[in-house]
Structure 1
């Protein structure tokens, strides 16, 4: 007789375990790949270059009418709580504005990221495991707000396409978002190369969810939320941005609305010291 199929929760648990193993491998690979750029001088140059890139991209991005966003991202981000379960929210309506529905949530960690951003990949490799532990236990509420300003660092506009895929997952498979986010960084392309195609991104998503979803597939393939990606990026970048936070590059990390600075991409203790002081 054929083996019984795994339940959805069992598939997701298996995917999270695989992602955790991949994260460790990614941390080792990225440490080797970036060992030559860890001097303070070069880090400063990279930070300045990232800020200049954002300013230039915002200046040349053509204006477009606001478009409807995905469900469960009314704040331009998805809120994930205990058990890695996403909070359900309405979508931003066409012509509408983002609403910080989770404002005032105790021990909230907000992360602005770009899936093409190598520093974001380093942040995930360094902090992903402890963030998963805090969020799974309910000690911390996580909000991930994707941005897209690094299409110029990709041969096939991976930054914006990846952000669109994130919106699709939030809309159709929100409880898989945390594991999807990990998987995206485990498969992050190098800057200056061609990133995964939309078909390959969808295959990655089904590897996380364990199921096919024709609506989600159409969303990824047709880049349904490309207009929202542009709008959310415009809203997210600023000093302050629409939520009163200072975001000039990624990763931009805030705990209880206070920026977390320092060596957050390479030293897990920096973020841990801030979070553990609050959660005990």
Structure 2
């Protein structure tokens, strides 16, 4: 066995040791980077999943604010409909509509007064399921933005909701265009009496967008094929006369109230 005379450092061994330590350091550093990268990817995936799964805010109408001097109660149903009218009304009318839908505009024009009268005299409560499946009919997702505005105004004051809805349909933009801009949606709301800044903020921030997409999916998966789809006490109305003729739904509501 040879020995290092005089305890001197062997340059070759020192070089090998330094090289080995350098390799170990590089391997540890690479491993640490890989662990950090995997962790970062995992966190990124988790964050994206959490954002995707987040249902977003849920609209509501406070019980204390659901009725003002006008005497018209409002609420949000389990399926996301804006319910206008007295809870104990004999007749329930359900309206499934998209604010970009021309046929829905025709229904509204024909029956807006019928539904307003039925609510005001206590005969019926009307549940408005405003969905957003026609986003492709505009370049700015107008259906979703308009449906969001529907919740914004409803939770602010349901007593003005039907008048607001009539105004929205009256100013419905043509399909294939850009749709009404947010400032126009805010102006329509203000003209209907919604002057609270919170309503304007709700519209511009698209506060209920995720909720709308989820409820639209639910409605379409329930078997609804087109809009408007109208139900009176759970029975779907198929007659074009009842849906599109001026005042056409009045006899149906009157018969259901008997």
Normalised by the length of structure 2, the TM-score is 0.69
* Count of residue pairs brought into register by the alignment: 200
> Distance in 1 between the 2:252 and 2:144 partners?
31
Q: Secondary structure at the match of 1:237?
A: helix
Q: Which has the larger radius of gyration?
A: 2
Per-residue deviation, residues 153-212 of structure 1 (Å, max 9, x unmatched): 112211100000001111222221111111100110111122211111011101111x52
Match of 1:69 in 2: 58
> Distance in 2 between the 1:150 and 1:84 partners?
34
2:200 is aligned with 1:217? yes
Q: Is the 8 A contact 1:86 1:174 kept in 2?
A: yes
> Distance in 2 between the 1:98 and 1:169 partners?
14
Change (3 A) 1:237 1:69: same
Residue 247 of structure 1: how far off its partner (Å)? 1.7
For structure 2, the 5+ residue unaligned runs are: 1-51
Q: Secondary structure at the match of 1:254?
A: strand
> Distance in 2 between the 1:85 and 1:185 partners?
21
The CA RMSD measured in Å over matched residues stands at 3.0
Counterpart pick for 2:232 among 231, 255, 278: 255
Counterpart pick for 1:115 among 80, 99, 104: 99
> Distance in 1 between the 2:70 and 2:197 partners?
26
Q: Is the 8 A contact 1:255 1:275 kept in 2?
A: yes
2:253 is aligned with 1:275? yes
Change (3 A) 1:232 1:104: farther
Change (3 A) 1:99 1:188: closer
Change (3 A) 1:255 1:198: same
Change (3 A) 1:181 1:86: farther
Counterpart pick for 2:169 among 153, 164, 185: 185
Q: Is the 8 A contact 2:130 2:150 kept in 1?
A: yes
> Distance in 2 between the 1:118 and 1:146 partners?
14
